Structure 1
Amino acid sequence: MKSQLALNVSALTRNIGRGNRALVLAVALGASAMAAAPVYAQSTKIGFVSTERILRDSKPAKAAQSKIEAEFKRRDDELQKMATSLRSQAQKFDKDAPVLSESERVKRQRQLADLDSDLQRKRREFQEDFNRRRNEEFSSIVEKADAAIKKIAEQQGYDLIVQDAVTVSPKVDITDQVMKALGG
């Protein structure tokens, strides 16, 4: 038993030259696919979660950020002191430079350059350590969020949950539900 659409396509292709048969077949297939699409789309439940918002606004993310900042505060303060010291030494050098001998001026310039290199190296190390620690903390939050998303999907019958889309309708955004499941 052929469907009515298949019979109509067969009749059209017999009446049309060979060159246009492929075109007619493509149009018929496209029409049948478009006719079936709304039925499928209506039965699909889609949700959206903003990972950025979860990692910025959720209670676990804020707690992790505070914890990391507390861990790195002492090193950050040391870097600030080094930068302040370097600035004051550079200002003193600029003020003293006209009266310094050539050898003394070169010696102090070298010392300032060494201090600056040391400061830059320590800043890079600090930033790398900070980022590594932050990634460790946030990866556990992402794992918990993924588990919460899966649980919400199962409980509420979602077929698809998308993270980080370009544009999203607020009616499919379930980020608040995920944040609530994470504890706020």
Structure 2
Amino acid sequence: MKSLSRSSLWVLLASMALALPALAEDFRVGFVNTDRIFREANSAKSAQAKLEQEFSKREKDLNDMGNTLKSASDKFEREAPTLSETQRQQRQKQLIDQDREFQRKRREFQEDLNARKNEELQQVLDRANRVVKQVAEQEKFDLVLQEAVYINPKYDITDKVIKALNAVK
């Protein structure tokens, strides 16, 4: 089989280039900013409020524990020169043990908070994805992106999605 000649290749490329705009007119693209959904959608705000309520007592207890530890450490620093070696070592060991306990509780708190936050955000994202699909089908989008390096604002449908999300109870 003979390869295409140069002039045939140019004719083929020119016809393809002329056909692309016709195809592009029928192809609709949209973009959704998930960060904005997580910040602005009512369901995301209520999830955040739920998490704050759920974890506020533990956070306050941790802050109190940290303040108590800092006060004890400051007191030790002031009194250390007047303490006997045995008393100094004993108080230092107590401070180290208290700090270890504080660090453990803080780590557990952070792990629990992150796990719950991921659960709540996943529920918001699942709802948002269903709404994005509805909007895309209603407005006949062929493609909706959630991540992009750059997007022309005219393709951003985030406001429509947030509005639809907020309308759903």
TM-score by length of 1: 0.83
State which of 142, 149, 152 in structure 2 corresponds to 1:166. 149
Following TM superposition, by how much is the alpha carbon of 1:37 offset from its aligned partner in structure 2, in angstroms?
A: 2.2
> 3-state SS of the aligned residue for 1:158?
coil
* d(CA) in 1 for partners of 2:40, 2:73: 41
In structure 2, C-alpha distance between the alignment counterparts of 1:160 and 1:38, rounded to whole Å = 17
The equivalences for 1:68-147 within 5 A come to 68-147=51-130
- Determine what percentage of the aligned residue pairs are the same residue: 46
**C-alpha deviations, 1:71-92, integer Å up to 9, x for none?**
0011001101100000000000
Unmatched 5+ residue regions in structure 1? 1-8, 14-20
> Helix, strand or coil for the counterpart of 1:157?
coil
CA RMSD of aligned residues (A): 1.9
2:94 & 2:13 partners in 1: Cα distance? 75
| 1:125 partner letter | E
Report the Cα offset of residue 114 of structure 1: 1.1
1:29-44 alignment, distance < 5 Å:
30-44=13-27
Residue 104 of structure 1 and its aligned partner are, at CA, apart by 1.3
Partner of 2:165: 182
- For 2:53, the aligned partner's letter is A
The structure, 1 or 2, with the larger RCO (C-alpha pairs under 8 Å, 6+ apart) is 2
Q: Does 1:52 align with 2:47?
A: no
1:87 is paired with a residue of what secondary structure? helix
* 3-state SS in 2 of match to 1:122: helix
SS of 1:161's partner is strand
C-alpha deviation, 1:108, in angstroms: 1.1
The Cα of 1:119 is off from its aligned counterpart by 0.8
Structure 1 segments of 4 or more deviating over 4 A?
A: 24-32
Distance 2:9 2:93 in 1: 76
Q: Does residue 140 of structure 2 align to residue 157 of structure 1?
A: yes
SS where residue 164 of structure 1 aligns? Answer: coil
Larger radius of gyration: 1
Change in 2 beyond 3 A, CA 1:25/1:102: farther
Which string of whole-angstrom CA distances, capped at 9 and with x for unpartnered residues, describes residues 41-92 of structure 1? 2211110000111011111111110111000011001101100000000000
| Cα distance change on mapping 1:110 and 1:26 into 2, 3 Å | farther
- Find the residue that maps to 1:182 and give its secondary structure: helix
Q: Counterpart of 1:114 in structure 2: which amino acid?
A: D
